[in-house]
A = this chain, B = another copy of it.
Amino acid sequence: MPLFPLRISSLVKPGHSLLSRFSSHGPRPFASRRFFYGYISDTKMAPQLEPFFKQVDSSSETFIDRLRKAVAIPSVSAQDENRKDVFRMAQFLADELKALGAEVEQRPLGKQPGKEHLDLPPVVVARYGNDKNKRTILVYGHYDVQPALKEDGWATEPFELTIDEKGRMFGRGSTDDKGPVLGWLNVIEAHRKAGVEMPVNLLCCFEGMEEYGSEGLDDFIQAEAKHYFKDTDAVCISDNYWLGTEKPCLTYGLRGCNYYSVSISGPAQDLHSGVFGGSAHEPMTDLVNVLSKLVDAQGNILIPGLMDLVAPLTEEEKALYPNISYTMDNLHESLGSETGIHPTKERTLMARWRYPSLSIHGVEGAYSAPGAKTVIPAKVIGKFSIRTVPNMESADVNKLVFDHIKAEFAKLNSKNTLDVWLQHDGKWWVASPKHWNFTAASKAVEQVFGVEPDMTREGGSIPVTLTFEQATGKNVLLLPMGSSTDAAHSINEKLDRRNYIEGTKLLGAYLHYVAEEPTSA
Binding site for B on A (CB under 8 A): 255, 257, 259, 261, 266-269, 271-282, 284-286, 288-289, 291-292, 295-299, 331, 334-342, 348-349, 351-352, 355-364, 366-377, 383, 385, 387, 412-416, 423-424, 458-461
On whether A458 and B268 interact (CB within 8 A), knowing A352-B279, A423-B372, the answer reads no
A436 to B340, CA, bound (A): 66
Q: Which residue of B lies closest to A289 (CB)?
A: B292
Identify A356's interface contact among B278, B358, B362, CB under 8 A: B278
Identify A278's interface contact among B357, B364, B412, CB under 8 A: B357
Copies of this protein, total: 2
CB distance from A86 to the nearest CB of B (A): 22
Interface contact B286-A288, CB-CB below 8 Å: no
Interface contact A341-B280, CB-CB below 8 Å: yes
CB-CB nearest 8 A-B residue pairs: A268-B336, A274-B460, A278-B357, A362-B367, A362-B366, A277-B357, A368-B368, A292-B292
Interface contact B359-A284, CB-CB below 8 Å: yes
Identify A412's interface contact among B257, B276, B297, B369, CB under 8 A: B297
A507 to B383, CA, bound (A): 52
Q: Which residue of B lies closest to A336 (CB)?
A: B268
Q: Which residues of B contact A349 (CB under 8 A)?
A: 279
On whether A387 and B459 interact (CB within 8 A), knowing A359-B284, A412-B297, the answer reads no
Identify A366's interface contact among B257, B284, B361, B459, CB under 8 A: B361
Q: Which residues of B contact A459 (CB under 8 A)?
A: 272, 274-279
Q: Which residues of B contact A423 (CB under 8 A)?
A: 371-372
A458 to B363, CA, bound (A): 30
On whether A413 and B362 interact (CB within 8 A), knowing A279-B351, A387-B273, the answer reads no
CB distance from A205 to the nearest CB of B (A): 23
Q: Which residues of B contact A337 (CB under 8 A)?
A: 266-268, 415
Q: Which residues of B contact A334 (CB under 8 A)?
A: 276
Q: Which residue of B lies closest to A377 (CB)?
A: B362
CB distance from A364 to the nearest CB of B (A): 6
Could you name 25 residue pairs across A and B whose Cβ atoms are closer than 8 Å? A259-B374, A266-B335, A272-B459, A273-B357, A273-B460, A274-B460, A276-B335, A277-B357, A278-B341, A278-B351, A279-B349, A279-B357, A281-B341, A284-B360, A284-B361, A285-B296, A285-B359, A285-B360, A286-B297, A289-B296, A359-B374, A362-B368, A364-B370, A372-B423, A374-B385
Q: Which residue of B lies closest to A342 (CB)?
A: B279
CB distance from A336 to the nearest CB of B (A): 2
A459 to B255, CA, bound (A): 50
A377 to B362, CA, bound (A): 8
On whether A361 and B377 interact (CB within 8 A), knowing A278-B299, A285-B295, the answer reads yes
Inter-chain pairs besides A276-B334, A284-B359, A363-B366, 13 sampled, C-beta below 8 Å: A272-B459, A278-B355, A279-B340, A279-B459, A280-B339, A285-B296, A285-B299, A288-B291, A337-B415, A341-B415, A362-B368, A362-B373, A363-B363
